[in-house]
Amino acid sequence: MNQRTSKKTTEKQLICLPIADGFSSIRCLSPKKLRFEIEYSLGKGTTSNTFLFFESNESTAVLVNPPGENFKEIFLPALKEIVSTEITELLVVTGHINPNRVSLLRELAIEFKNLKIICSNPGAKLLKELWNQVKPSKPTINNKKKSKKLVFQALWKSLIRPKNKVNIPIPLIPELQLIKQEQSISILNNYKLTLIPAPTARWPGGLIAFEEKTGLLMSDKLFGAHICTAEWSEKNRSSTDDERRHYFDCLMTPIVSQVIRIIEKLESLDITSIAPSHGPAIDSSWRSLMNDYQRWGDQQSKASINIVLLFASAYGNTAAIADTLAKGISSTGINVKSLNCEFTSSEELLVAIKTADAYLIGSPTLGGHAPTPIISALGILLAEGNKQKPVGIFGSYGWSGEAIDLLENKLRDGGFEFGFEPIKIKFSPNVEMLKILEETGTKFGRKLIQAENRQKRQLTGGISITKSDPALLALGKIVGSLSVLTAQKQEDDSNINGAMIASWISQASFTPPGITIAVAKDRAVETLLHNGDLFALNLLNEKNYQKLLKQFLQPFSPGADRLKGLNLITSPGEQPILPEALAWIEGCVKQRMECGDHWLIYAEVLHGKVLDQNGITAIHHRRTGANY
């Protein structure tokens, strides 16, 4: 494909790629992750893909999935260079509605007077709610000694007007064309767009577009991956597998039943390629990716423990908290069902609450109150929820957070047991808080599994089958080197690290020298072990390993620094090394393979050193292969 690239603007780029006559993709690239990608980014940047149907001699243009405000400074000039603002009609198809997207739609409405937005019914509701709202922003106050009066003034200004937009009036909301069910529309140059409503709890206004002549499915949030790449499509299926699975785990897991229903709708389409809103297109292996989505979803749906997650989110911050908690819980093998209370009927809420083994409920604070849908959901939970089952509450706020206080007081007074302390976050969660949230979810999930296992032992009279299973007893005779795996990486201005005891380790290759390590899915350090990440393996010494075992086997609170207070040295890749270790190896993750409740990590050995020439490797002996 021929392509035209803009000049770099604040390290972002724009590429225009022709797909067919009068049909092109406008792709905005950012080598750095953006605010809205922080919850599920692997630090590889992102791509926002928009699709344009337009010929220079036509009076109408159709824009599918415009980007958010993050790319305004490069997207709007490029669009106006291609499409005249005096055009008779600009149709904008959009499914992902949030404040970031609405902000750019308002800019389009200012530039293009004949703008019409095509959206679903829920999308129209969100657009009307958000069109005249201004998202609160964090005030910047550098001098900690400033008076409370100045702090108050800064906060007040951030709430009444958006940053860098002084005295710019908000335009009237454009005409809306509603897509209530699957509908096909003919557009210029004999193209035919089939628009398919695809609502989920995370994206109630979801709308997928399929162009018949080219067979291109513009899948919006489905099948995405956050990768900054100038290539139109991925090289092969394995080249983006890690990123696409991570994207699924972070965003699709709590809405997996809804996602599977959408995929079933897509089965009848004559698809030749899939182009999501984020990341490269999938040309040759889209069927494989669809099958993987269904397979990954089946793994969750077969879980024996089910949690219902109820939430509403005005600006996306509460939804980000919900996603991160759900990811942590799901890593333990528990099924999380996410329901957006604004778009869920009372009947569906009632069924979900009655069949759940635990409850999570989250709310923003709007004008000092919880949104009405959350109040209604709380009422159903108080009336129909089982008080013997644990509950967790969370939410974001911009001023005082009364909604979270309301949830806590009502549920405590109602006699519910809390699975973790209420989570109350001002504005949006930062990197450190996201780590705490994910580990909070993991800890919550483990508690539920432990309770289920205790109940099973009571039913069997305390007899453990695994202790007498001959195959498991034989499996336990496989020994491994006792080690401490450590990893750290820089995230924005934060240094994120993790560590765990590892014994399922083996050399895997000679050329290049490589190792494999099995890492449980619910280990906190697992998030630091994706393709391209560095880590250190500290092989423990038989003569002094007990102290280090005690250090790293102790229970840590969510988000705790596992390496705090230790005397460390660093590898060439700045990974933490324990001086007491027998030897250390620095590795770079090259592949990940899912193996039941573990990830098998293959890494190439970059550096290493023996620290005690006379030492002996500490070995882990087990009684059974049923546990560590």
Kindly state whether residue 70 falls inside one of the protein's structural domains: yes
* pLDDT (0 to 100) of residue 37: 61
At CA 253, angle to CA 207 and CA 495, rounded to 5? 110
Kindly state whether residue 339 falls inside one of the protein's structural domains: yes
**How far apart are alpha carbons 80 and 83 in whole angstroms?**
5
Q: Is residue 157's pLDDT more than 50?
A: no
With CA atoms as reference, report the closest residue to 209 among 91, 65, 54.
65
Confidence band (pLDDT; 50, 70, 90) for 57?
A: confident
Q: How distant, in Å, are the alpha carbons of 262, 427, 471, 476, 608 from that of 624? A: 43, 48, 9, 4, 32
* pLDDT (0 to 100) of residue 431: 87
Q: Are 441 and 328 in contact (CB under 8 A)?
A: yes
Per-residue tokens: 380: 């159903």
Q: Are 326 and 295 in contact (CB under 8 A)?
A: no
* pLDDT (0 to 100) of residue 93: 98
How far is residue 58 CA from its own chain's centroid? 40
Kindly state whether residue 226 falls inside one of the protein's structural domains: yes
With CA atoms as reference, report the closest residue to 271 among 200, 209, 197, 224.
209
Same domain, 495 and 611: yes
| Phi, psi for 193 (deg, rounded to 5) | -100, 125
| Phi, psi for 39 (deg, rounded to 5) | -70, -25
Q: Are 72 and 168 in contact (CB under 8 A)?
A: no
- What's the order of all strands across the beta sheet hosting 23-30? 4-5, 13-20, 23-30, 46-53, 60-64, 89-93, 115-120, 175-179
- Ramachandran sector of residue 555 (left: φ over 0; alpha: ψ -120 to 50; beta: rest): beta
The total number of structural domains in the chain stands at 3
| Phi, psi for 179 (deg, rounded to 5) | -110, 105
Same domain, 260 and 377: no
Q: Is residue 150's pLDDT more than 70?
A: no
Per-residue tokens: 159: 């709430």
- Cβ burial, residue 23 (10 Å; 0-12/13-18/19+): buried
Same domain, 122 and 225: yes
Choose from 106-110, 153-157, 186-190 the range with maximum mean pLDDT: 106-110
| Phi, psi for 107 (deg, rounded to 5) | -65, -40
- Cβ burial, residue 278 (10 Å; 0-12/13-18/19+): buried
Strands 273-276 and 13-20: unpaired
User: Domain holding 551: CATH number?
Assistant: 2.30.110.10
Q: Are 536 and 497 in contact (CB under 8 A)?
A: no
Q: What is the DSSP string of 406-420?
A: HHHHHHHHTTPPBSS
Give the lowest-confidence range in 156-170, 202-216, 492-506. Answer: 156-170
Give the lowest-confidence range in 137-151, 245-259, 564-578. Answer: 137-151
Same domain, 189 and 237: yes
| Phi, psi for 60 (deg, rounded to 5) | -130, 145
**How far apart are alpha carbons 210 and 191 in whole angstroms?**
10
Q: Compute and round to an integer the Cα radius of gyration of the chain.
A: 26
Same domain, 286 and 307: no
Q: What is the mean pLDDT of residues 347-367?
A: 96
Q: What three-state secondary structure class fits 321?
A: helix
**How far apart are alpha carbons 254 and 56 in whole angstroms?**
44
Same domain, 400 and 544: no
Q: Residue 355: enclosing H or E segment and its boundaries?
A: helix 346-355
Kindly state whether residue 96 falls inside one of the protein's structural domains: yes
pTM: 0.89
Kindly state whether residue 482 falls inside one of the protein's structural domains: yes
Same domain, 312 and 431: yes
Give tens-digit pLDDT for 542-600. Answer: 999 999 999 999 999 999 999 999 999 999 999 999 999 999 999 999 999 999 999 99
Confidence band (pLDDT; 50, 70, 90) for 156?
A: very low
Distance spanning both ends of the chain, measured CA to CA:
53
**Residue 66: domain span:** 4-132+170-290
Per the listing, tokens 């009364």 go with 402
Same domain, 34 and 124: yes
Same domain, 231 and 331: no
Query: What is the average pLDDT score of the chain?
Result: 90
Kindly state whether residue 77 falls inside one of the protein's structural domains: yes
With CA atoms as reference, report the closest residue to 492 among 46, 32, 39, 138.
32
Give tens-digit pLDDT for 477-505. Answer: 999 999 999 999 987 677 899 999 999 99
Q: Is residue 133's pLDDT more than 50?
A: yes
Whether the upstream peptide bond of residue 67 has omega within 30° of 0, thus cis, is no
Handedness of CA 142, 143, 144, 149 (dihedral sign): negative
Kindly state whether residue 139 falls inside one of the protein's structural domains: no
**How far apart are alpha carbons 90 and 177 in whole angstroms?**
12
Same domain, 12 and 124: yes
Q: How distant, in Å, are the alpha carbons of 45, 489, 586, 606 from that of 574? A: 22, 9, 9, 12
**How far apart are alpha carbons 605 and 585 in whole angstroms?**
7
Q: Is residue 162's pLDDT more than 80?
A: no
- Let me know how many helices (H) and strands (E) the chain has, helices first: 14, 29
Max Cα separation, the chain? 82
Q: How distant, in Å, are the alpha carbons of 6, 127, 204 from that of 366? A: 40, 17, 20
Same domain, 68 and 110: yes
* pLDDT (0 to 100) of residue 137: 56
Q: Are 22 and 189 in contact (CB under 8 A)?
A: yes
135-151 as b/e: b if 16+ CB within 10 A: bbeebeeeeeeeeeeee
Last residue of a domain, one of 395, 418, 450: 450
Last residue of a domain, one of 241, 259, 290: 290
User: Domain holding 368: CATH number?
Assistant: 3.40.50.360
Q: Residue 123: enclosing H or E segment and its boundaries?
A: helix 121-130
| Percent of the residues in the chain that have a pLDDT greater than 90, as a whole number | 80
User: Domain holding 223: CATH number?
Assistant: 3.60.15.10
Per-residue tokens: 393: 């509450």
Last residue of a domain, one of 290, 320, 343: 290
Same domain, 408 and 532: no
Q: Are 586 and 605 in contact (CB under 8 A)?
A: yes
Find the length of the chain: 628
Q: Is residue 5's pLDDT more than 60?
A: no
| Phi, psi for 309 (deg, rounded to 5) | -115, 110
Confidence band (pLDDT; 50, 70, 90) for 261?
A: very high
With CA atoms as reference, report the closest residue to 579 among 541, 528, 535, 527.
541
**How far apart are alpha carbons 628 and 619 in whole angstroms?**
13
With CA atoms as reference, report the closest residue to 568 among 514, 495, 507, 619.
495
Q: How distant, in Å, are the alpha carbons of 34, 99, 376 from that of 345? A: 33, 24, 10
Kindly state whether residue 125 falls inside one of the protein's structural domains: yes
